[in-house]
């Protein structure tokens, strides 16, 4: 009986240990990555910290920049494309520099979408600023480029290249 039990156990172990292993295969062909490939993205907020921000610039951006902001001229303008034109909000984060404010005093900033005046505001102190407002229906068409701008009424300083400096821009665009 011990002998039969031993044979049964041996037969079960042999059966369990015999498995079909998959055939060996070669790894897929390796290809080098495409140089300068960037996936297509639609950006509605242009953040100055983004390395692709310059692709949205239309006018009045200087070369004076830091990792998170950029000095602008008097009317910085960007081009963005929105997939939907519903419930859009103009949004901008910027700063009025202390050094320029000492020269200009209070400044008025006009906010424009497709060259239409959305609003204007008086800033009577330097520092970080935020503006946000709903864009009226019909001002922007879905799937088409829109321009978003902010216009400062007076310059407080001039860059080395002669550009009049307006504001320190952090981000600007249309949000939903």
Write the pLDDT tens digit of every residue in 16-36.
Answer: 565 666 677 677 777 776 665
* H or E element at residue 16: helix 2-17
DSSP of 95-163: EE-HHHHHHH-SEEEEEEETTEEEEEEEE-S-EEEEEEEEPPTTSS-TTSEEEEEEEESS-SEE-TTSP
Classify residue 103 as left (phi > 0), alpha (psi -120 to 50) or beta.
alpha
Domains and CATH numbers, the chain: 45-175 (2.60.120.260)
Name the 3-class secondary structure at 13. Answer: helix
- Determine the 3-state secondary structure of 81 from DSSP: strand
Q: Render pLDDT for 114-124 as a digit per residue (tens, 0 to 9).
A: 999 999 999 99
Burial 36-46 (b: 16+ CB within 10 A, else e): eeeeeeebbbb
pLDDT band at 156 (very low <50, low <70, confident <90, very high): confident
The predicted model scores a pTM of: 0.74
Residue 31 or residue 47, greater confidence = 47
Query: Rounded to an integer, what distance in angstroms lies between the CA atom of residue 85 and that of residue 82?
Result: 7
């Amino acid at each position: 009986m011990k002998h039969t039990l031993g044979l049964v156990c041996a037969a079960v172990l042999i059966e369990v240990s015999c498995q079909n292993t998959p055939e060996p295969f070669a790894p897929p062909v390796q290809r080098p990555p495409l140089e300068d490939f960037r996936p297509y993205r639609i950006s509605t907020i242009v953040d100055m910290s983004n390395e692709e921000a310059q692709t949205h610039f239309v006018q009045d951006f200087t070369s004076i920049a830091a990792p998170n902001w950029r000095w602008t001229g008097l009317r910085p303008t960007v081009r963005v494309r929105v997939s939907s034109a519903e419930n859009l909000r103009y949004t901008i984060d910027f700063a009025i520099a202390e050094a320029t404010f000492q020269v200009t005093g209070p400044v008025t900033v006009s906010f424009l979408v497709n060259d239409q005046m959305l609003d204007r505001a008086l800033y009577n102190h330097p520092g970080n600023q935020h503006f946000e407002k709903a864009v009226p229906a019909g001002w922007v068409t879905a799937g088409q480029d829109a321009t978003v701008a902010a216009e400062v009424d007076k310059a407080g300083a001039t860059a080395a290249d002669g550009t009049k400096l307006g504001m320190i821009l952090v981000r600007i665009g249309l949000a939903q």
